[in-house]
Chain A
Amino acid sequence: MWTGLVFLAVIIGSIAFHVWTPWWWTDIASNWGAMDDTIILTFWIGGGVFILVCLFMVYCIFKFNYKEGRKVEYKPEDKKLEVRLTWATALGVAALLAPGLLVWNQYIKVPENSIHVEVMAWQWGWKYRLPGEDGVLGTSSNKKINDDNPFGINEDDPNGKDDILIDSEELHIANNRPVKILLRSIDVLHNFYVPQFRAKMDAVPGMITYYWFEPNKIGEYEVLCAEYCGVGHYAMRGLVVVDNQEDYNKWLAKHETFSSFIAKRKKEGLINEKVVKINNILNTKKSIKSEKNVR
């Protein structure tokens, strides 16, 4: 008797938890409300099946508990019932899959007018590159990365000259403008993930991956690395600030282009070896910092 009651309590408890949970997703700040809707739809259909199956089971526990000499049904198969259940399930599955695929189709088709933003991931942090006035990012390669060219931009590509380099963990984007995030990594797998935007994709060394979204709420959002990337993974945070157009332009104007960066380097006359050393020092500092976080 109480066996059935406990199982019943588990089901009711699950529903109650779902209804009154204080743990729910963050307020959405992008165009991907359809993802949330698909999740809600899956909750209705999937949750419904879960409740029905479990309630049926609980009913059986109450109703058919062992009694000596109970008359038990002997019916090895029931073709009709089995066929009906198959079709009902197939229908439910199709109802979940179809809208999901439609939204996925939007997810992989980037709008023409989107601003391209390159996110370059490294162990453990982020750098960004934005196209200059031509609106096109210059081609790049990890092989070309050195101290005079921290992003490995192809010097022969005219599109790259006016690219804006952002050597900081903070990225600004303009509100209500679609953004295409182009992901690069110089070492291992990473993933540029802002929960409020819902979207994510891995950054893979040796290739460029992408996703897009359209921010629709001004504010500051924490970036989390969502693909395990070694011991500093949990500390690999960044910041995305969604600005109105005016603030965005101001922020953009503060950063230098690739050509001005090169010019500055030439003037300073720094030679490579020196900077490698500095870089190494910076890296050790970083790892000391992450070790501190560990303690």
Chain B
Amino acid sequence: MSDDLNIKKTSSIKTKSSSVSGGGTDIDYVRPAELPEQDLYHGHSFITKWIFCQDAKVIGIQYTLTAVFTGVVGLILSWMMRMQLGFPELFPFLTAESYYQMVTMHGMIMVVYLLTALFLGGFGNYLIPLMVGARDMVFPYVNMISFWMFFVAVVVLMASFFVPGGPTGSGWTLYPPQAILEGTPGSGYGILLMLISLSLFVIGFTMGGLNYVITILQARTRGMTLMRMPLTIWGIFTATVLALLAFPALLVSSIMMTLDKVLGTSFFMPTIIKAGEMLSYDGGSPILFQHLFWFFGHPEVYIVALPAFGIVSDLLSVHARKNIFGYRMMVWAIVGIGALSFFVWAHHMYVSGMNPWFGFFFASTTLIIAVPTALKVYNWILTLWRGNIRLTTVMLFCLGFIVTFVNGGITGIFLGNVIVDVPLSDTYFVIAHFHMVMGIAPLMVIFGAIYHWFPLITGRFLDETLGKWHFWVTFLGAYSIYFPMHYLGFIGVPRRYFEMYDSPYMTSAVGMNEFISVAAFIVGAAQFIFFYNLVKSIRLGKPAGKNPWKANSLEWLTPQVPPEHGNWGEKLPVVHRWAYDFNVPGAKKDYITQTTPPSEVIEAEVEKT
């Protein structure tokens, strides 16, 4: 799809329009720029270029490296948890306290500090200016502060491992009253540092998020209409809007809980009797916290999922050499899912004791959201249909994403249907579901995206053989961790149990737990193949050259690879079409880049956008 001129009538229009506007190749006409270009601050010293840097690409990499560091911590924690669950006798020094601390930190790190930061801070920063044809984010200085806020948030979070009492062990949902009462590990300094770290994260994210949204709305290059943006940008854009609306709920609940802890207010604290003594709290509501938390927490799922949806659409299209199927529906599905995601939060609370009539409303909205989500899945597989599929590592990760996402999406329909949730909530079924759908599936996209864009960032390919090993071990291993885990939930095995081997439910599950643990060790270890591949390929990888995947979107069309500060050299690119003109009938090449003017591909029968 290209400029708004029907190619079949090209010649007649050409003569007509040239007589109207007075000359030039008018089928290539794009409205002139309305604003002058922005001035950029160019760093000169090492510090301004690489540390306190205002270049969104460097900030993106800083975000990525910090997020991946936290991810490795989260991975190691998950190994230790699996060690306890599979082989408790091997680590007798692992106590219930430390187990719950690991559960909590693993969850919070993976959801917020790895996935959110990586998709929005990492991919968002690197890709937004490049893909919309801007020289940088609109507020580069604020963007820099955003990263450093995130960095401080991570430092505070990691510091909680070293304070007396250790990090909080309240579960990643931090439900009061237990989160701030004795009886929960880390209920002193641990929970405070967690709340402070989350607050810093939200502040830092807000600065970055405003940048992403305004850059996408205001700094697109000439010809880049909203409906020509790559779906990656649509996904990141919508997710950022969600985050800007959802994170304040997390911020206020963090502040209120901090006040409950430090000043003894009772926002979330009712009358409580501990060890025969009545505490001084009175009149607060634990359920209020749950509403606030999930008002953030459910959009959070889509904050992670929507960028993944967008990115995987682009990767599938490029590597299947075919336009994404149903682009407009994909866009509206992303926007629709984003809007609906604010009306489903209480499906996490069906058995929380909230008014049971809520169940009808939230079950209905939750299942309605399944419709646009399913459409996206159909469009991904229809993109493969009659394509020309290159089975690169990138494509393998996309296929792995489809399998794990559909699997996790369908178990989501189990849990969203309120009555089915009653027996399954708080069991291993839930753990299996959300790891499949928002752990493994987005990770598949992240890996695919890294294999895809690594040549742009470094100018070199990642090693394909290592990449395929990495994919198969990760995909098959992760699938064999989480697929059988659902069945533990059917038995009724509750989550967040440090051990339960004397229980009749669990005896039949011991063997499965050992199997899952072994698989988890292998999958974790396979990630080090990936890290080795990254380190090796930066220096020794096969040189990629310009636009190695023969993609259409702007980020591949910079004058320098890797792109320099300011991205575009002398002149900003001008966009004539969407990013998905692959294998257009009549065209000589199997791709037409977004900057190719219609006059250069006069023979291609493109559809108009």
Contacts and interface: CB of A to CB of B under 8 A. Distances in A.
A104 interface: yes
Nearest to A233: B496
B451 to A, nearest CB: 15
Interface stretch (A73-81, A126-134, A165-173): A73-81
B476 interface: yes
A7 B491 CA distance: 28
A78 B326 contact: yes
B387 A89 contact: no
Contacts, number: 333
A105 B92 CA distance: 47
Nearest to A21: B487
Nearest to A203: B353
Contacts of B420: 35, 38-39, 42, 100
A232 to B, nearest CB: 7
A215 to B, nearest CB: 15
Contacts of A137: none
Contacts of B410: 46-47, 49-50
Contacts of B411: 46
Contact of B352 (A3, A47, A202): A202
Contact of A61 (B92, B271, B275, B399): B399
A174 interface: no
B375 A82 contact: yes
A232 B175 contact: no
A237 interface: yes
Given A70-B388, A86-B375, A96-B413, 5 more contacts: A74-B585, A77-B327, A81-B382, A100-B419, A187-B183
Interface in A27-64: 32, 34-35, 38-39, 42, 46-47, 49-50, 53-54, 56-57, 60-61, 64
A150 B118 CA distance: 52
B216 interface: no
Given A35-B422, A123-B274, A209-B353, A74 B487 contact: no
Interface stretch (A111-119, A189-197, A246-254, A260-268): A189-197
B584 interface: yes
A203 B270 CA distance: 13
B275 A280 contact: yes
Given A23-B491, A26-B491, A142-B273, A234 B381 contact: no
A17 B484 contact: yes
Given A82-B326, A97-B364, A195-B505, A143 B278 contact: yes
Contacts of A294: 95-97, 498
A42 B505 contact: no
B287 A73 contact: no
Contacts of A227: 426
A294 B479 CA distance: 31
19 contacts: A3-B396, A3-B399, A23-B490, A23-B509, A54-B402, A56-B381, A61-B389, A61-B391, A74-B583, A89-B375, A122-B273, A186-B272, A187-B183, A193-B492, A201-B351, A201-B353, A230-B181, A237-B503, A294-B97
Interface in B346-395: 351-353, 356-357, 359-360, 363-364, 367-368, 370-371, 374-375, 377-378, 381-382, 384-391
A198 B419 CA distance: 10
Contacts of A11: 403
A240 interface: no
Contacts of B363: 97, 100-101, 104
A278 B589 CA distance: 86
A230 B275 CA distance: 14
Contacts of A5: none
A204 B286 contact: yes
Interface of A: 3, 6-7, 10-11, 14, 17, 21-26, 32, 34-35, 38-39, 42, 46-47, 49-50, 53-54, 56-57, 60-61, 64-67, 70, 72-78, 81-82, 85-86, 89-90, 93, 96-97, 100-101, 103-105, 107-108, 122-123, 141-143, 145, 147, 183, 186-189, 191, 193, 195-196, 198-207, 209, 222, 224-234, 237, 276, 279-280, 283, 290, 293-295
Contacts of A196: 492
A135 to B, nearest CB: 23
Contacts of A24: 487, 490-491
A222 B503 contact: yes
Nearest to B471: A3
Contacts of A202: 351-353
Interface in B572-609: 580, 582-585, 590, 605, 607
B418 interface: yes
B338 interface: no
B542 interface: no
B417 A96 contact: yes
B214 to A, nearest CB: 30
B490 A228 contact: no
Contacts of A141: 271
Given A50-B406, A74-B583, A104-B359, A200 B352 contact: no
Contacts of B424: 39
A142 B286 CA distance: 15
B1 interface: yes
B270 A206 contact: yes
B265 interface: no
A93 B369 CA distance: 10
B248 interface: no
A195 to B, nearest CB: 3
A282 B385 CA distance: 68
B417 A53 contact: no
Contacts of A103: 419
Nearest to A284: B275
Contacts of A26: 491-492, 505
B528 interface: no
Nearest to B101: A231
A196 to B, nearest CB: 8
Nearest to B499: A234
A42 B368 CA distance: 15
Contacts of B356: 104, 107-108
A106 to B, nearest CB: 9
A54 B385 contact: no
A147 to B, nearest CB: 8
Contacts of A108: 356-357, 359
A82 B96 CA distance: 51
Nearest to A277: B276
B321 interface: yes
Contacts of A73: 322, 385-387, 583
A7 B419 contact: no
Contacts of A234: 96, 496-500
Give the one of B273, B406, B498 with max A CB within 10 A: B273
A46 B384 contact: no
Contact of A82 (B285, B323, B329, B384): B329
Interface in B292-330: 320-323, 325-329
Contacts of B384: 57, 60-61, 64
Interface string B483-523: 11001101110111111100111001100100000000000
